[in-house]
Structure 1
């Protein structure tokens, strides 16, 4: 019988969809250990992993008799899987791209609004009991409507953020990507990242993670931002040089930041947590019941296709 491994606790809908397979469900919500991942590749026909399950090239090389046919990743980002090494080993890799777009874009807007209007500081003030009431100069932030947004990475999620900014907040849109896009609204393609961040009020990071984008946002890029500029990261933590960002926030050389992801997640530096000019969320990008269920079912469809020797609907 076909053996499957589901790396995290799964809802009942997943169990129903996989009836008839020999399925092992891990009942702990932590990444797999190296030993577990080696066993996954050696003993199972298909594996449904997710963020934190680090299937490296070295790990693939350690297994002589690979049984696994597919790693059906739960999530759009798959930089924790060496896809080239998997392919060389005869293993398919898939992800769940469409399901996450709107939810992640919504979190981008949440961070943008919170950072611009200093909502995190305001909530902490109320919770502390130190709030003395309304006054005209209290927690003055940046009015977001009409400001210019710069999208770094104009894929599905970048376009969803841009659409919300353009139609919802009357924000001019500029974007950085490998090529210009055919969009239903006016947007300026800028091929130089430093030029982009210097020309906008809010920078939203929406590029995929991986070696090509590691520290794409470095000290030089941060230095080019406007003094009131906001940096929003809804992509992967290591796209931003976290130490350089802390330096910029501490110095007040940028206006603030909103982060849903971190370079060494789940570790968040004390220096970052101590700052008031940054909003910190615990990777909530796709955290809604409907979206997560859609992701599960998309991953299951990929998994079932892969173990049947078919091309998964969302192969990468």
Structure 2
């Protein structure tokens, strides 16, 4: 099988020596080309070329969730077609690796490589659904290009925390659990919409929208994220086999944060966040989030600036993944 290995050399948990060992292991079973990313968006460019020219039957992403997101967007540049497009494989090398872990892959790069080789030998694969976020027609964000995401998107509070983490990483800080917790606290202290949010969630064909949300988290699978080895379930029913789930919170006062933070830390596949200020919706094929003011926006843990209106689509069976 012809394969392209897309390597992020700045991946958090891999070294040059580890990457060399993994490359040799994969090359023993595959006709392997290796490409190291050199700039933001390079993984997307590499995957797009592989999909367009047919030079690879499989694209392997070695890196974190950001690298995986770029590869997915490159593969799906011209739309989803699980039968025509190269398959995707993931070797986790980032700090969280939510997509890989949600697929059931080991979080250790060596073990994950072994699992990938086993899957290739047995022909094990699954076709997963993905989310697509685009600027809403008729709004100031209409020209924003559509972008795919594998496990989560967020508008408001959580995206603001992601942006703060990215700023710290650009200053040389490591992406540790402590860093994330500190930035969440700082985002809360600076939050301007604690008791009445600016976000409205609109569903096609539904007259009464859900208003006054402080944040909206969109999930394509569960867990939503990890705190170290602890899985956190914002939308426990979310699945790669369904459309999209949404968690919305309409209050972030200190008491609400304490309550929902405790619920999140103790969440499980059977129980997520709940209460009178929490809204959860399951298996939505399409919906729109509007905000009265521009708010931070993130996809798969990648801060994308601010948005006022985003339309989401859940696309079933979008991409074949080797697992």
TM-score, normalised via structure 2 length? 0.34
Structure label with greater radius of gyration: 1
TM-score, normalised via structure 1 length? 0.35
Q: Between the two structures, name the one with larger relative contact order (CA 8 Å, sep ≥ 6).
A: 2
More helix by share: 1
More strand by share: 2
